[in-house]
């Protein structure tokens, strides 16, 4: 296949770098993990993206998670148009906020009270503040490879030992902040028990991605989430599920419904905004009543509950409640990962894949079960890079990193899956 023309993207990137740090407004958009220039897009329709040179791609990024219905779903567009004709925001309450809050509480029953914010980062940051206020404790437990937005105290790299206090992962984060964070290996039940034995009474909360989606995609091993629940009950710590990615993505009720483990608090984002900037945090009434104006934990937002974002989010939440939505999404995603494994095997490339609902992970690895951070880090990144660029050349847009999860939308039909698998056949052969 001939090289695609990406001249306009390349020119825009050169121009962007003059005014925007690294040319991007979020580092994941740069192609640092795969090499080459990032693409600039001017349109999306269903499962497809169109770049500035008018190349079309089947999209598995989905705006990094929100677009579970695909691009420009008619219900979302219509809801936005209706709201546009009424106004952009009033800085005061609206009926739609009540409707979306009620819907979130219904779909995720562990959430008895919910507050809307404008990003996933704000949601996790606020949830932690509330958990600290509620428990009157400072320490937070997080896991290696989990990302919870760019919250200061959570930008902590892999600790060496289970009980080691974390080192800052980013410049500009005071050590005194990350000193409040314990970092444990994901899926290590024993390390979790040991940490609580030693420090349980100081721990305000555990924050965890119930399916880790920021180190490729790593599901929890049986007992891992259950152990957290048990320890948090015993030590009266707050269990926070960061479902910014997994919420309405792995199942209608999120990972907590899929695994049947109930957290005290949940952070949401991505899908609930329908593609507009939204986040939310919620949980038990008793805990959420700590939040201002009821309680003494301060939290606020000028654009929180933006009528446009709420309209898009509500259209999304209505569409995903249609019977059979997740069964179809799951089947489509499974067809994709099964097909990818077959084609990798045919090309003699060590490869495995995980999938739950509309979320998947691909690993260039000979290991059958990937459940630890070190296994993810040991994957063959060089082969992934080649595969990525061959997929791109053949019209498939994957996240430009070996450590990101992939997303299938309801707009991905059999035809798109087949086209993707045809591209993968070429890409695996070329990458081997
Ligand atoms: C994306 C993500 C966040 C951060 O959300 P932003 O809207 O980018 O601030 C937090 N937690 C998880 C699990 C995420 O995937």
Q: Which domains does the chain show, CATH number per domain? A: 7-60+323-431 (3.90.1150.10), 74-320 (3.40.640.10)
Q: Is 147 noted as a catalytic residue in this protein?
A: yes
Rounded to the nearest angstrom, the gap between the alpha carbon of residue 193 and the centroid of all alpha carbons in its chain is 27
Q: In whole angstroms, what is the distance from residue 346 CA to residue 343 CA? A: 5
Question: How much distance in Å is there from the Cα of 123 to the middle of ligand 1?
Answer: 9
Residue nearest to atom 6 of ligand 1 (CA): 120
Q: In whole angstroms, what is the distance from residue 187 CA to residue 411 CA? A: 33
Closest by alpha carbon to 204, among 145, 154, 168?
A: 154
Strand partners, 205: 140, 238
Closest by alpha carbon to 99, among 310, 343, 380, 344?
A: 310
Closest by alpha carbon to 76, among 321, 325, 316, 249?
A: 316
Q: Is 60 noted as a catalytic residue in this protein?
A: no
What is the 3-state secondary structure of the chain?
Answer: CCCCCCHHHHHHHHHHHHHCHHHCCCHHHCCCCCCCCCCCEEEEEECEEEECCCCEEEECCHHHCCCCCCECCHHHHHHHHHHHCCCCCCCCCCHHHHHHHHHHHHHCCCCCEEEEECCHHHHHHHHHHHHHHHHCCCEEEEECCCCCCCCHHHCECCCCCCCCECCECCCCCCHHHHCCEEEECCCCHHHHHHHHHHHHHHEEEEEECCCECCCCCECCCCCHHHHHHHHHHHHCCEEEEECCCCECCCECCHHHHHHCCCCCEEEECHHHHECECCEEEEECHHHHCCECCCCCECCCCCCCCCHHHHHHHHHHHHHHCCCCHHHHHHHHHHHHHHHHHHHHHHCCCCCEEEEECCEEEEECCCCCCCCCHHHHHCCCHHHHHHHHHHHHHCCEECCCCCCCCEECCCCCCHHHHHHHHHHHHHHHHHHC
Tell me the CA distances in angstroms from 32 to 22, 129, 225, 385, 399, one per residue in order: 10, 33, 33, 11, 11
Closest by alpha carbon to 145, among 128, 126, 166, 131?
A: 166
Which atom of ligand 1 lies nearest, measured to the CA of 270? 7
Please choose from 244, 309, 358 the residue to mutate so as to test ligand 1's pocket, defined by most ligand atoms within 8 A of CB: 244
Contact 318, 252 (CB under 8 A): no
Q: In whole angstroms, what is the distance from residue 204 CA to residue 221 CA? A: 24
Residue nearest to atom 5 of ligand 1 (CA): 120
Residue 390 is predicted with a pLDDT of 97
Contact 229, 261 (CB under 8 A): yes
* Positive or negative: CA dihedral 51, 57, 63, 66: positive
Listed as ranges, residues in the chain with pLDDT below 50 are 1, 158-164
Question: How much distance in Å is there from the Cα of 269 to the middle of ligand 1?
Answer: 7
Tell me the CA distances in angstroms from 111 to 25, 142, 273, 283, one per residue in order: 32, 21, 17, 4
Residue 86 is predicted with a pLDDT of 97
Which atom of ligand 1 lies nearest, measured to the CA of 245? 15
Question: How much distance in Å is there from the Cα of 120 to the middle of ligand 1?
Answer: 4
Question: How much distance in Å is there from the Cα of 148 to the middle of ligand 1?
Answer: 6
What's the predicted TM-score (pTM) here?
0.96
Please choose from 147, 273, 279, 306 the residue to mutate so as to test ligand 1's pocket, defined by most ligand atoms within 8 A of CB: 147
Which atom of ligand 1 lies nearest, measured to the CA of 214? 15
Which atom of ligand 1 lies nearest, measured to the CA of 26? 8
pLDDT tens digits for range 352-395: 999 999 999 999 999 989 999 999 999 999 999 999 999 999 99
The three-point CA angle 123-124-130 to 5° equals 90
Rounded to the nearest angstrom, the gap between the alpha carbon of residue 100 and the centroid of all alpha carbons in its chain is 20
Contact 221, 186 (CB under 8 A): no
Ligand 1 lining (C-beta closer than 6 Å): 119-121, 124, 147-149, 209, 213-214, 242, 244-245, 269, 279
Please choose from 120, 145, 279 the residue to mutate so as to test ligand 1's pocket, defined by most ligand atoms within 8 A of CB: 120
Active-site hit among 60, 134, 147, 397: 147
Which atom of ligand 1 lies nearest, measured to the CA of 122? 9
Active-site hit among 139, 142, 270, 386: 270
Question: How much distance in Å is there from the Cα of 153 to the middle of ligand 1?
Answer: 15
Please choose from 26, 148, 255 the residue to mutate so as to test ligand 1's pocket, defined by most ligand atoms within 8 A of CB: 148
Active-site hit among 242, 264, 380, 397: 242
Question: How much distance in Å is there from the Cα of 280 to the middle of ligand 1?
Answer: 11
Question: How much distance in Å is there from the Cα of 207 to the middle of ligand 1?
Answer: 13
């Amino acid at each position: 296949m001939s090289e695609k023309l990406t001249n306009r993207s390349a020119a825009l990137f050169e121009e962007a770098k003059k005014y925007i740090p690294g040319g991007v407004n979020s580092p994941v958009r740069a192609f640092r993990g795969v090499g080459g220039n990032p693409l600039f897009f001017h349109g999306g329709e269903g499962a497809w993206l169109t770049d500035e040179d008018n190349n079309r791609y089947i999209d598995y990024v989905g705006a990094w998670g929100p677009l579970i219905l695909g691009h420009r779903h008619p219900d979302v567009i219509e809801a936005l148009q209706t709201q546009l004709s009424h106004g952009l925001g009033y800085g005061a309450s609206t009926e739609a906020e009540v409707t979306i809050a009620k819907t979130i509480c219904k779909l995720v029953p562990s959430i008895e009270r919910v507050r809307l914010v404008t990003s996933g980062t704000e949601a996790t940051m606020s949830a932690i503040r509330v958990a600290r206020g509620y428990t009157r404790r400072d320490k937070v437990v997080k896991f290696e490879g989990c990302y919870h937005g760019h919250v200061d105290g959570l930008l902590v790299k892999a600790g060496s030992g289970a009980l080691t206090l974390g080192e800052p992962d980013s410049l500009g984060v005071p050590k005194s902040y990350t000193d409040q964070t314990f970092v444990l290996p994901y899926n290590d039940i024993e390390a979790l028990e040991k940490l609580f034995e030693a420090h349980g009474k100081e721990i305000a909360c555990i924050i965890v991605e119930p399916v880790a989606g920021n180190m490729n995609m790593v599901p929890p091993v049986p007992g891992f989430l259950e152990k957290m629940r048990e320890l948090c009950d015993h030590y009266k710590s707050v269990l926070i599920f960061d479902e910014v990615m997994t919420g309405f993505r792995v199942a209608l009720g999120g990972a907590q419904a899929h695994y049947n483990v109930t957290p005290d608090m949940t952070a949401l984002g991505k899908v609930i905004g329908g593609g507009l900037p939204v986040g939310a945090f919620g949980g038990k009434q008793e805990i959420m009543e700590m939040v201002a104006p009821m309680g003494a934990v301060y939290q606020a937002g000028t654009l929180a509950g933006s009528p446009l974002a709420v309209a898009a989010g509500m259209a999304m939440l209505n569409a995903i409640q249609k019977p059979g939505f997740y069964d179809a999404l799951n089947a489509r995603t499974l067809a994709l990962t099964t097909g990818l494994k077959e084609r990798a095997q045919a090309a003699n490339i060590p490869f495995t894949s995980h999938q739950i609902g509309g979320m998947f992970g691909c690993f260039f690895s000979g290991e059958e079960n990937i459940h630890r951070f070190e296994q993810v880090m040991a994957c063959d990144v060089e082969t992934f890079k080649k595969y990525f660029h061959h997929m791109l050349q053949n019209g498939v847009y994957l996240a430009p990193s070996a450590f990101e999860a992939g997303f299938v939308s309801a707009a991905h039909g059999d035809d798109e899956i087949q086209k993707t698998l045809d591209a993968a056949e070429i890409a695996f052969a070329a990458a081997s």
